[in-house]
Amino acid sequence: MCETHTATLVFVGDRAYKFKKPVDLGFLDYTTVAARRAACEREVALNRRFAPDVYVGLGEFRGPDAAAAPEPVVVMRRMPEDRRLSHLVRAGAAVDDVLRSVARDLAAWHAAAPRSREVEEQGTRDALSARWETNFEQLQALAAEGVGPEHVTEIEQLVHRYLAGRKRLFDSRIEQGRVVDGHGDLLAEDVFCLDDGPRVLDCLEFDDRLRYVDGLDDAAFLAMDLEQLGFPDYAAYFFARYGEYSADPAPPSLWHHYVAYRAFVRAKVSVIQAHQGAPGAEAASRRLAAIALRHLRTSAVGLTLVGGLPGSGKSTLSGALADRLGVTLLSSDRIRKELAGIPAEQSAAAGYGEGLYAPEWTARTYATLLNRAALLLASGESVVLDATWSDAIQREAAVQVAEHTSADLVALHCHVPGDVSVARLSARPPGASDAGAEIARSMAAREPAWPEAVPIDTSGALESAVSQALTAVRPWGTGQAPVFRRPHMEPA
């Protein structure tokens, strides 16, 4: 036999019998026989959607007292213990094929899963916020000191900041039909890797609203569980395969946010299990809370300004930084040419403040740059903006965009000795930028101080400059959570 925080399972021969515990945990109440029977019936019906040949049906256990109500029980076909996904990954077995199959099956289920206005309502930004708040309240009521109050405080702050600026993102997910009646509790120990394909058991049955989720949220549960088992590479692999099969264009920030949410929910469950005396549960709650915090830090939406005079290396650093972080890069040089209707590589060279570089063209370029950044930030995409940022008014406009979208603003100011700048500009091939050494000198004479920006010395190796930039943008480090990169998808 074995126990969870809500049930006891007894294994006899080729059958498994699952009893609901007579507990009231706030988010569920199984204290009456009628409630337990309803939960068992619901569990059988819902799980037959995923594993019809495993869930035999509803049974009863009776005692010698004929007057006593029989105890309802879920009767299942017993699965081989050594074929659990959790067992296989711990044993070092190759599970890529299994993860690919589960990702494909889950994406196929989500594509055909029931959708309705009631389902969609649970996919809103405010519905997710309410679920977070419920978990914060329940954890506080449990007096979970082991989780670390300082961690919970930072988790709350990061959750509130992410959700505050992301209504556009969650509205778009509903418009895309991404919110479905899913599984809701996808754990590695409930996935059995059989020769004829995986069986996924034990979906969430006690509250339909918690099963009405974004498909990415559903997949995040298994990714989180693989990571907390010590296999972040498998987590990233599974998530990438799900992204392919579901053709999901979600930003990586949302992937991380959902993994964090699932980790925090499991941390709360581990606290409940610790109160019930389960060995190792308190340590698990701390580990899961740490995972939630890592992913929330990584999910934070950021607006990074990379500025500097021509020849300072700002465009090279911008490209390398955006690539390292897996975020969107926008260049003022390219947008300026786009607005003028000419190819980025076509020269539009002019004197300082003339032609395409006249004040009105520059103002239009920066306005377009920031408008596009605002849309991306509201959609959960972090952005690196490559421009000179030599005007204090434009810098303040960027600050306003970051505040409006609840994005973390970091400004980087690239600098090199004058002779290095001149040498670079002299050797630079034709490209999006038209500035030469004379323009650079004119700009330098008028450039105001930028005390808020972090100075970045770009005169040495590129990797050194990238390292300086990453320290400013991600002060807690960049290797704490798996890197989720969207698979390449051709535009429709």
Work out the percent of the chain whose per-residue pLDDT is above 70.
93
Work out the percent of the chain whose per-residue pLDDT is above 90.
71
Of 355 and 298, more confident: 298
Gap between the Cα atoms of 428 and 426, Å rounded: 6
145: pLDDT confidence band, cut at 50, 70 and 90? low
pLDDT digits (tens, 9 = 90+) for 269-291: 898 888 888 888 889 999 999 99
Task: Pick the range with the lowest mean pLDDT from 169-173, 341-345, 387-391, 459-463.
Answer: 341-345
Of 441 and 173, more confident: 173
Q: What is the residue whose two structure tokens read 């915090």?
A: 293
419: pLDDT confidence band, cut at 50, 70 and 90? confident
Average pLDDT (52-73) is 92
Residue 68 has pLDDT above 90, yes or no: no
Domains of the chain: 2-76 (no CATH), 80-299 (3.90.1200.10), 302-473 (3.40.50.300)
Residue 66 has pLDDT above 80, yes or no: no
Average pLDDT (212-235) is 96
Task: Pick the range with the lowest mean pLDDT from 41-45, 111-115, 352-356.
Answer: 352-356
Residue 491 has pLDDT above 60, yes or no: no
CA distance readout (Å), 17 to 39, 61, 198, 320: 14, 10, 21, 56
Gap between the Cα atoms of 174 and 119, Å rounded: 10
Gap between the Cα atoms of 302 and 252, Å rounded: 12
Gap between the Cα atoms of 304 and 325, Å rounded: 11
365: pLDDT confidence band, cut at 50, 70 and 90? very high
| DSSP states along 241-297 | HHHHHHT----HHHHHHHHHHHHHHHHHHHHHHHHTT-TTHHHHHHHHHHHHHHHHH
| CA-closest candidate to residue 268, choices 281, 255, 280 | 281
140: pLDDT confidence band, cut at 50, 70 and 90? confident
Of 269 and 66, more confident: 269
pTM as predicted: 0.88
Residues in a beta bridge with 17: 10, 75
pLDDT of 398: 98
For helices 96-112 and 232-246, the axis angle rounded to 10 degrees is: 40
Other CB atoms within a 10 A radius of the CB of residue 86 amount to 16
346: pLDDT confidence band, cut at 50, 70 and 90? confident
Rg over CA atoms, the chain: 27
**44-48 — which CB contacts under 8 Å span 24+ positions?**
44/74, 46/203, 46/205, 46/211, 47/201, 47/202, 47/203, 47/205
Q: What is the residue whose two structure tokens read 């009456």?
A: 32
pLDDT digits (tens, 9 = 90+) for 379-402: 999 999 999 999 999 999 999 999
Burial 393-405 (b: 16+ CB within 10 A, else e): ebbeebeebbeeb
